[in-house]
Amino acid sequence: MQRWQYEVLLTYFYLRLARIFSLSSQAFTSIATIEGHSEAWYRASNFAVPEQAESVALEGCQKRAKAQHLAKLAKKCTVVTLTSQPGYGALVCAKKGCAWVVSAQTAQDAVDIAYANCAAQYKGCQKNNIAYWEDFNGFERQSTVTQTVTTIPSLSDRYDAMRAAQFHSKFDGN
Q: What is the pLDDT along the chain (174 residues), one digit of tens a residue?
A: 666 555 545 555 554 544 454 444 567 889 999 988 888 889 998 888 899 999 999 999 999 999 999 999 999 999 998 888 888 899 999 988 889 998 888 889 999 999 999 999 999 999 888 888 887 754 344 344 444 445 566 666 666 666 766 666 665 554
Smallest CA-to-CA distance from 141 within 1, 45, 9, 72 is with 45
Residue 18 falls inside a structural domain: no
For residue 97, the cross-strand partners are 94
Smallest CA-to-CA distance from 119 within 87, 164, 86 is with 164
The whole-number pLDDT of residue 66 equals: 94
Residue 95 falls inside a structural domain: yes
Residue 145 falls inside a structural domain: yes
Q: Do 102 and 87 meet the contact criterion of CB atoms below 8 Å apart? A: yes
Q: How far apart are CA 124 and CA 128, in angstroms?
A: 12
Domain that holds residue 118: 26-172
Instruction: Kindly report the number of other CB atoms within 10 A of residue 98's CB atom.
Output: 24
